[in-house]
Structure 1
């Protein structure tokens, strides 16, 4: 399969009502505001949909998940996870999210269509207090997170063109 025929999903997950837990969704919103994407790329606000993400995941060959990640480093730290490391992502915990995203990927695999998946995550400062705004620390690091996601996208065969 040529890279340009690869179906790529950029999935922002998290709960935007809890400050930095919504960083993945906010990242997708920013990408949609500032870039146009090649036809093989889909961007989606996955919120905390859990198992309802199964179909969009199975429809893609490669998935870039943007999320808040509890890795234990300083707030604003950016991580890249694949494979078993995916469990460190907040979406992969049985917390406020309906279902564990790793389990959703396992179900995709069971029915024979699991996309290659990478998580680009950021250590949150505040993910417990209700606020629709990202904290300053996380907001300041958002451009760096987007740069990493765009590099990942380019390597996967997707094209993002800055809007005029």
Structure 2
């Protein structure tokens, strides 16, 4: 089974970058069995179609706008449920994710897609990093991503040495720092 884990979002808008940070955190801290591709999706938009149609399963890590839930609340939503969830479409990239899901579904070749979303506290401030609320919820966010991989039959093990969330965030601010340059 080919699986893509896509971190979506924009690291310059505070909590909006949580998906991208989570993808990088998984990349730096875990080795996976099987055919798992980790993708810094940023705001891929239409390019998401490739993952939706070429992979057996796609796990998207992202913020999710749910007005009735407080910041840090977690969701694991199958793609077919998201097709009818209008309240999810609040930011530009949320609209793109859902639109690409709808197009792939219409074409009849949509992979098994899951959105693992976290309700953000601040996606308006132009500031790198995460709010304290989302930092506190980050371990549960990553744990849910790992659990979804496990449900798909993917084993994993920690890498040594790993990278902390603060180090991951720092690598986006300073990608040429020695710790941040891929070996």
Give the TM-score range, shorter chain.
0.7 to 0.9
Over the residues paired in the alignment, what is the CA RMSD in angstroms? 2.1
Partner residue of 1:10?
5
Q: Which ranges of structure 1 fall in alignment gaps of 5 or more residues?
A: 1-5
Decide whether aligned partners of structure 1 residues 89 and 65 sit closer, same or farther in structure 2, where only a CA change above 3 A counts. Answer: farther
Please say if residues 6 and 60 of structure 2, whose CA atoms lie closer than 8 Å, have aligned partners that are also in contact. yes
CA radius of gyration, larger in: 2
TM-score after normalising by structure 2: 0.78
Moved more, 115-124 or 80-89: 80-89
Alpha-carbon distance in 1 for matches of 2:155, 2:86: 26
Alpha-carbon distance in 1 for matches of 2:140, 2:5: 16
Partner residue of 2:140?
144
Task: After TM superposition, give the deviation of residue 93 of structure 1 in Å.
Answer: 2.6
Query: Pick from 58, 62, 66: which aligns with 2:53?
Result: 58
TM-score after normalising by structure 1: 0.86
Alpha-carbon distance in 1 for matches of 2:32, 2:83: 26
Task: After TM superposition, give the deviation of residue 59 of structure 1 in Å.
Answer: 1.6
Decide whether aligned partners of structure 1 residues 44 and 112 sit closer, same or farther in structure 2, where only a CA change above 3 A counts. Answer: same
Q: Which ranges of structure 2 fall in alignment gaps of 5 or more residues?
A: 161-183
Q: Deviations over 1:105-126 (max 9, x none)?
A: 2322344421111111111010
Partner residue of 1:77?
73
How many matched pairs? 158
Residue pairs, 1:45-124, within 5 angstroms: 45-72=40-67, 73-82=69-78, 83-85=80-82, 93=89, 95-97=91-93, 100-124=96-120
